[in-house]
């Protein structure tokens, strides 16, 4: 929802290594993702966890805009291609591992090149391959509250989450 022309969200809880916000609308989910994207650097990994329809791809659209992927690029889930690559201030590698049975299949898509590259890697269904993700990955848990509202929880290294907490507060999500 917009209040006074500004997208708003309600914060549930904030700790040094765990930040949770509520999105009232898909536009807010995108706005939160954009803030995350603005705080990312090359070689960062964002691990998305959530049920089907929770908003992982919607959130990734925001990340894409935050890392500078032009609006002319339509962001879609790479369910059948496994990886979509987008140019930006930082390249974005968007993975969807839903169709993989486990992390052993990641070698087939050359995931190490992506994880060790200079771009930002966003992984949907990350819980399926958690054992091959870097220890400093930012985990984002998206919970479906109803048709439009989502609870979004961020966990990761204290430094990353603390930086993100400040960025979310600056963006009006506090």
Mean pLDDT of the chain: 87
High-pLDDT (> 70) share of the chain, %: 90
Distances (CA, A) of 89 to 46, 146, 159, 166: 17, 34, 22, 22
Q: Which of 77-86, 105-114, 156-165 bottoms out in mean pLDDT, i.e. has the lowest?
A: 105-114
Domains and CATH numbers, the chain: 2-170 (3.40.50.300)
The yes-or-no verdict on residue 136 having pLDDT over 60 is: yes
pLDDT band for position 174 (cuts 50, 70, 90) = low
Other beta carbons less than 10 A from residue 165's beta carbon: 21
**Geometric angle at alpha carbon 104, from 98 and 105, rounded to 5°:** 50
Dihedral angle computed from the Cα positions of residues 130, 135, 137 and 139, in that order, rounded to the nearest 10 degrees: 60
The yes-or-no verdict on residue 51 having pLDDT over 90 is: yes
Rounded to the nearest angstrom, the gap between the alpha carbon of residue 146 and the centroid of all alpha carbons in its chain is 20
pTM: predicted TM-score of the whole model, two decimal places? 0.87
- pLDDT of 142: 97
């Amino acid at each position: 929802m917009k209040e006074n022309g500004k997208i708003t969200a309600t914060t549930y809880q904030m700790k040094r290594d765990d930040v949770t916000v509520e999105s009232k609308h898909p536009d807010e989910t995108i706005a939160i993702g954009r803030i995350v994207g603005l705080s990312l650097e090359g070689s960062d990994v964002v691990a998305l966890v959530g049920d089907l329809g929770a908003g992982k791809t919607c959130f990734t659209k925001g990340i894409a805009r935050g890392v500078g992927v032009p609006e002319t690029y339509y962001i879609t889930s790479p369910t059948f291609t496994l990886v979509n690559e987008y140019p930006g201030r930082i390249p974005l590698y968007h993975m969807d591992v839903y169709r993989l049975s486990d992390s052993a299949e990641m070698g087939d898509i050359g995931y190490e090149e992506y994880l060790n590259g200079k771009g930002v890697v966003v992984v949907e269904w990350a819980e399926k391959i958690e054992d091959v993700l870097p220890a400093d990955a930012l985990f984002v848990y998206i919970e479906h509250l109803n048709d439009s509202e989502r609870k979004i929880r961020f966990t990761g290294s204290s430094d990353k989450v603390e930086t993100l907490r400040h960025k979310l507060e600056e963006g009006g999500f506090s």
